[in-house]
Chain A
Amino acid sequence: MEDSEILELYRSGEEQQAINLIMRKYGERLYWHIRKMVCNHDDADDLLQNTFIKAWKALDTFREDAKLYTWLYRIATNECITFLKRQNIKATLSLSDNSKAVANKLEADPFFNGDALQLALQKAIAKLPPKQKAVFNMRYFDELKYEEISEILNISVGALKASYHHAYNKVQASIKEELNFLAKQ
């Protein structure tokens, strides 16, 4: 079903049915985007539910200037960035290293099936600031165009390119460091 038909359904009063269709159509893609941002399944589940609740409450304000998926992606990304910032603040206040905590959680996570290289990648991504992490994930994993990311994050394409380039180098350097460390052991 097309987005315009779903929105028509919502406007005609079939709100519940419209949100069901949106969840069925975009739920999985949004979940994986959120999961790559926060790594943990329970956190991703909470954030995905919050995303749909917020979308349901604000759907009548959606003016179709952007695609429905872009709009949902924006809500989900903002939820993730807020969540990660809070986590960073908590970690700073408790004088602990957030990226190390994420790595430890991943190693113990039964829903993480990655090898050593993928674990090193996730550890490196966890060190990025939330917004840069979002840019890196959207470009590297989801392979979105800069124009699409620009629309979601409301950042200019030039700034996004610079941010991605910077993040790419940081992640690469961090993985190298991790692999060298593992080789020495």
Chain B
Amino acid sequence: MDEIKNILDNPDLKRNAFSVPEGYFAKMEDSVRERIKAPVHESLFLKYFKPAFGLLCSFALIFGLGYGVLTLTHTLPGDEEVSPYITLLEDEYYNRATVDYLEIAEADTLFQSSYDESAPDDEDIVTYLSSQLTSADIHYIYADLIK
């Protein structure tokens, strides 16, 4: 068990277990030399249009993201589609407005009817005046009216 416990102390484990194809290191130097000498081919398109293309892509990305956000939040101008939540709010508003109007109209009618009921008619006025005024007062008022 101790042997297993200290297994990494075994010096055989540090021995190199890998090998390489024959003459690899000399060939590797040649390969690197060839890669260093080989000119880097960059197409004319990439050379001249790469910055402009990058800029165009950036704008497209920003526009796309902006459009996506506006579409998701339903805030695009001229958008016919209205979210169900907005419709619900509008309905509630109109319902409340109608109720308020009806309530006001009803209150006016009640006020008007109560006003009419308490108003004295002509007969009441004549009865009232005749009980309060003397015949001389009535004559004086009548003379004033026909003047």
Contact = CB atoms under 8 A, between A and B. Distances in A.
B28 interface: yes
Interface string A165-179: 000100110011001
B34 to A, nearest CB: 10
Interface of chain B: mostly helix, strand, loop or mixed? helix
B33 A16 contact: yes
A21 B34 CA distance: 15
**Prevailing SS type, chain A contact patch:** helix
B18 A52 contact: no
A127 interface: no
Contacts of A122: 17
**Count class of interface residues, chain B:** 20 to 34
Contacts of B4: 176, 179
A20 interface: yes
Given A35-B18, A111-B18, A172 B33 contact: no
Interface string B1-27: 000110110101111111111001100
Given A41-B20, A121-B13, A31 B28 contact: yes
Contacts of A45: 24, 28, 31
A56 B29 contact: no
Interface stretch (A82-90, A112-120, A145-153): A112-120
A36 interface: yes
A32 interface: yes
B32 A117 contact: no
Interface stretch (A22-30, A64-72, A95-103): A22-30
Contact of B14 (A16, A53, A140, A175): A140
Given A20-B33, A27-B28, A28-B25, 6 more contacts: A27-B29, A36-B18, A41-B18, A45-B24, A53-B36, A121-B13
Interface of B: 4-5, 7-8, 10, 12-21, 24-25, 28-29, 31-33, 35-36
18 contacts: A19-B32, A20-B29, A23-B28, A28-B25, A31-B20, A39-B18, A41-B21, A45-B24, A45-B28, A45-B31, A52-B32, A111-B18, A114-B18, A121-B13, A140-B14, A141-B14, A171-B8, A179-B7
